[in-house]
A and B are shown apart, each in its own frame.
Chain A
Amino acid sequence: MTLTGPPTGDKLLELDDATLASQVAEGSAAALEVLYDRYSRIVLSFATRMLGDRQSAEELLQEVFLRAWQQAHNYSAGRGSFATWLLSITHNMSIDEIRKRRRRPQRAESADPVLMLTNVKDRSPSVEESAELGDLRETMARAIGTLPEPQRRAIELAYFRGLTQREIAEELDEPLGTIKTRMRLGMRKLKDYLETYEVELA
């Protein structure tokens, strides 16, 4: 297969994600580069929260886009946005890495899980980010902000640390039923909030 050259200017930049993804599937590295410019920052930020250190996240960032390069043919716009697809890849690969670490003798441990969704340092839109993506991040931040800390923490430990409800109960020294309740209430609140604000759910 022949790789296409570097980005071909403004035309490529104007294409939507789905079109770019289809070009990636046909072997356009230039299209992938545009998508990288759009989403590498959010992928890196997300991976950093997942893995707890930036160096590991940077390594994962490359692997995520390599995976996207190899599997772009599997992306279907009908099943959701390219961004959610890419971030799902990031999540799956991060969880794999976290579980591998858990089986190995402990190396540098990840950051305090409490801070995964709450340590808000920068909500400003990135230069490359679309207004739509910026709005979505803002809405999600507000949605998370509506959760009481125990509910948020239960969700964080499951989603960002890959812990089961039983493991969370042990880690927090709380009854399993309490964790289930917190998770249920938190997820329900998030869903209600997003539906209320008519967020297009992925």
Chain B
Amino acid sequence: MNSRPDERTNQLSTPHTAECAFVLENIEGYVLDALDRFERGVVEHHLRWCPSCQTLAAGYERVVKLLPFAVPLDAPPDLAIKTQLFARIAANDAGDPAPAVRRADTSPPLQADRHQPANGWLQHVAAALIAPLALSLLVMGVWANSMRTDLDEQSIDRESQAELNAALASGGQVALYSVEKESSCPGCHGAGQLGMSESNDMGMVLGWNFDPDKRHDVWGISGDGAKMKVCELQVDQTGAVMQMFTFPGPQSSFTEVYITDEYGAMTYVSHLTQADESPADDLETGSPVS
């Protein structure tokens, strides 16, 4: 564990709280966009309501914005590139600039832009209802990503945030599992991620598109084959889950995690995964730099 929150607290006029520990531990990774989705979601949620951490993040984001200036200069571009560029503009190939009156828009900082869905989740849901291809990976990915944002804003209260921070920050590392539907469950449409602190028994499920009318129990299987029920998922009416839980034993002893329905049939399985492998990452997002 490498955090030194006390030292960092002293750097700022506004003190941090214990809830800030996870962010203090990961703020550099956040501003460099080097966190995996799960960690990034935790940081982004915390930053929404913590002025001290916002200040810290803003300071580092300014440093990141200056990094390109450290690159040595190469030879200037060929004149042909400029000629071609302005020929495209003259031919209106690039489209017109948007009206200048929109300059008054107060769009969020660039760093935040990169992590936000391009549109609100309602738009994606609407698109999903209209388009017969709503279940394509593209739409699913965007929708899922949008849902995450919605979840961040609505579904975690400060208490659970504090619990999560304490749980994850004290452990330092988080084991990430993908949550995928079991192949024999045709009615399952959910997906998500499951994170577990590697030094204590705390974990968190982040999921979407689960059936809100069905029961979902999380189970762990230890190395010797013993099964233990971990928790029952609280799925909201939109099919979303964001939930903390405590493992009934050291999570390191679990080799597999799965989810069952009310009849005990396996519906979802979790595999240890590398960062950023969720469906939304398959999108070619195209830099929403507004």
Asked if B189 is an interface residue, CB under 8 A from chain A, the answer is: no
Q: Given contacts A26-B100, A201-B66, are A184 and B28 in contact (CB under 8 A)?
A: yes
A191: B residues at CB distance < 8 A: 59-60, 63
In the bound complex, what is the Cα–Cα distance between A117 and B73 (angstroms)?
11
Instruction: Tell me the nearest residue of chain B to A126, going by C-beta.
Output: B73
Encoded as 1 (CB less than 8 Å from any B CB) or 0, chain A from 113 to 156 comes to 00011011111101000000100110011011000000000010
- With A27-B96, A69-B94, A184-B28 already in contact, the answer to whether A62 and B81 are too (CB < 8 A) is yes
- A29 and B97 CA atoms in complex are apart in Å by 10
Residue A20 CB within 8 A of the other chain: no
Q: Interface centre among A73, A80, A103, by most B CB within 10 Å?
A: A73
- If the complex has contacts A167-B275, A194-B66, A202-B66, are A48 and B284 also in contact, measured as CB distance less than 8 A? no
Is B44 engaged at the interface, CB distance under 8 Å to the other chain? no
Residues of B within 8 A of A85 (CB): 110
- Kindly count the residue-residue contacts between A and B in the assembled complex, taking CB atoms under 8 Å apart: 224
* Alpha-carbon distance between A161 and B2 when the two chains are bound, in angstroms: 24
B63, B102, B285: most-surrounded residue (chain A CB, <10 A): B63
B274: which A residues are within 8 A, CB to CB?
Answer: 166-167
Most buried by B among A92, A93, A119, A122: A92
Closest to B88 in A: A66
Which of B36, B88, B287, B290 is the most central at the interface, judged by chain A CB atoms within 10 Å of its CB? B287
- List, in ascending order, chain B residues with CB within 8 A of A162's CB: 33
Partner of A120, one of B72, B102, B276: B72
Residues of A close to B103: CB separation below 8 A:
22, 25, 73-76
* B285 touching A84, Cβ below 8 Å: no
Enumerate chain A residues within 8 angstroms of B35, measured Cβ to Cβ: 164-165
> How many residues does chain A have at the interface if contact means C-beta atoms less than 8 Å apart?
92
- With a cutoff of 8 Å between Cβ atoms, the chain A residues found around residue B70 in the complex are 117, 137, 140-141, 143-144
A residues lining the B interface (CB < 8 Å): 1, 3, 22, 24-27, 29, 32-33, 36, 40-42, 44-46, 48-49, 54, 58, 61-62, 65-67, 69-76, 79-80, 83-85, 87-93, 95-96, 99-100, 103, 116-117, 119-124, 126, 133, 136-137, 140-141, 143-144, 155, 158-159, 162-168, 176-177, 180-181, 183-184, 186-188, 190-191, 194, 199, 201-202
Whether A159 contacts B85 in the complex (CB less than 8 A), given A165-B35, A180-B2, comes out as no
Contact between B2 and A181, CB atoms less than 8 A apart = yes
Q: Using Cβ atoms and an 8 Å threshold, which residues of chain B touch A117?
A: 67, 70-71
- CA A67 – CA B88 in complex, angstroms? 12
What are some 19 contacts across the A-B interface (CB < 8 A)? Answer: A24-B97, A25-B98, A36-B82, A40-B77, A44-B76, A46-B68, A58-B81, A61-B85, A70-B94, A84-B66, A87-B68, A95-B287, A103-B282, A126-B73, A159-B67, A164-B34, A165-B34, A187-B60, A202-B66
A188 and B125 alpha carbons, distance in the complex (Å)? 42
On whether the beta carbons of A65 and B172 are closer than 8 Å, the reply is: no
Q: Are B89 and A32 in contact (CB under 8 A)?
A: yes
Closest to A81 in B: B65
Contact call B97/A27, Cβ cutoff below 8 A: yes
Q: Once bound together, how far apart are the Cα atoms of A8 and B181, in whole Å?
A: 62
Q: Which residues of A contact B66 (CB under 8 A)?
A: 84, 136, 140, 194, 199, 201-202
Q: Is B289 an interface residue (CB 8 A)?
A: yes
